[in-house]
Amino acid sequence: MKRFDFIQPASLSEALGAWHPGAVWLGGGTSLVDLMKTGAATPDTVIDITRLPGLRGIDVLQDGATRIGALVSNADLARDEGFARRFPMVAEALLSGASGQLRNAATVAGNLLQHTRCAYFQDPNAACNRRHAGSGCDAREGLNEGHAVLGWSEGCIATHPSDFCVPLVALGAVVEIEGPKGTRDVALADFLRLPGDTPERTTALNADELVTGLRLPAGAEAFAAHARYLKVRDRTSFAFALTSAAAALRMEGGVIAEARLTLGAVAARPWRVAEAEAMLAGQAPDAALFDRAAGAAMAGAAPSGDNGWKIDLAIRTAARALTLAAKGTPDRMPALPASPFGPTKEAQHA
């Protein structure tokens, strides 16, 4: 590991003042430390933000929005009873990710900002336009079965690995950002970027800015009674998604009044398609309707390598997530959160 300076600022202004090119922020460290060990990340300064005030807490604001501090751990958020009751598919997504030990350390902001798990990004000896702009993309001609089928470019075919972000995009989450020029808000759907011609720019965050929190808008809890997250993976525990989907329905008199549908692991950001959601509104839930909406959500998908199978799997995942949502949110969290093998009503835990 390259030698580096370690700084522990006591205030947000001190932290922002300490940043310089070559510095990185440290929260939970569950991604950064791994990249530093392999040499994929080589900062000269690590700025530890874990002592900064005001970056923790889960609060319902006066306007009804729910604010989550940047340093809230994934485990604490998922296990917060009030939060899990209002946003069950977000809690389900969190509990389906990583291991219990990692969830205890990983933070909300770190989850949004985590780097792709593409093996060529993780390997400092491989060509990767995300790590070094213009160096090429070894994944294009390499092992790419798990890569993107939507929104990819010749410069990058990686996917965003987060479970957490998928239901957040479905519910219209907003990212709070602080920097030298002040504060700003960015919708999470816009915060995470598609590669295009600049795959090295993975988010809308400038290098000298910090994520300070996340907000779910007032009214997002209206989907709580019919909301599920479904994750298909190679193994049920501690594995990244092959495909995933967050589905939420607001039901009125047996009819879908409003729908949200976002797919994960198919692109460099969670994939939400308004046209697919519009197809569901005003309709009675049934399997044929869900199949059509799932197909519409994947419209325009194309293999980026040896991953054509992923398109059909994503459609099936989305349709099943909608079916589970229509059946209703379980009273208690499933024993196997987000797993297609998990029961819907039996063998559950708090």
Complete domains list, the chain, with CATH: 1-51 (3.30.43.10), 225-327 (3.30.390.50)
Residue 20 CB coordination number (10 Å): 11
Between β-strands 210-216 and 174-179, what pairing exists: parallel, antiparallel or unpaired? antiparallel
* Residue 141: DSSP 8-state: G
Helices and strands per DSSP (H, E), number in the chain: 13, 12
**Which alpha helices (H) appear in the chain, and where do they start and end?**
12-18, 32-38, 74-79, 81-86, 88-95, 100-105, 108-113, 119-122, 165-170, 188-191, 274-280, 287-297, 309-327
Closest residue by Cα to residue 241 from 270, 201, 276: 270
Q: The pTM is what? A: 0.96
Q: What is the pLDDT of residues 294-319, one digit of tens each?
A: 999 999 999 999 999 999 999 999 99
R_g (Cα) of the chain, nearest Å: 20
Residue 342 has pLDDT above 90, yes or no: no
Determine the pLDDT at residue 238: 82
Q: Would you say 190 and 204 are in contact if contact means Cβ atoms under 8 Å apart?
A: yes
Residue 348 has pLDDT above 70, yes or no: no
Determine the pLDDT at residue 343: 61
The owner of tokens 């946003």 is 87
State the average pLDDT over residues 81-85.
96
Q: Would you say 193 and 204 are in contact if contact means Cβ atoms under 8 Å apart?
A: yes
Residues pairing with 192 in the sheet: 203
Q: Which amino acid is at 82?
A: G
The owner of tokens 């929260």 is 27
Q: What is the pLDDT of residues 161-219, one digit of tens each?
A: 999 999 999 999 999 999 999 999 999 999 999 999 999 999 999 999 999 999 999 99
Distance CA 189, CA 57 (A): 23
Tell how far CA 144 is from the center of its chain: 20
Bigger pLDDT: 304 vs 350: 304
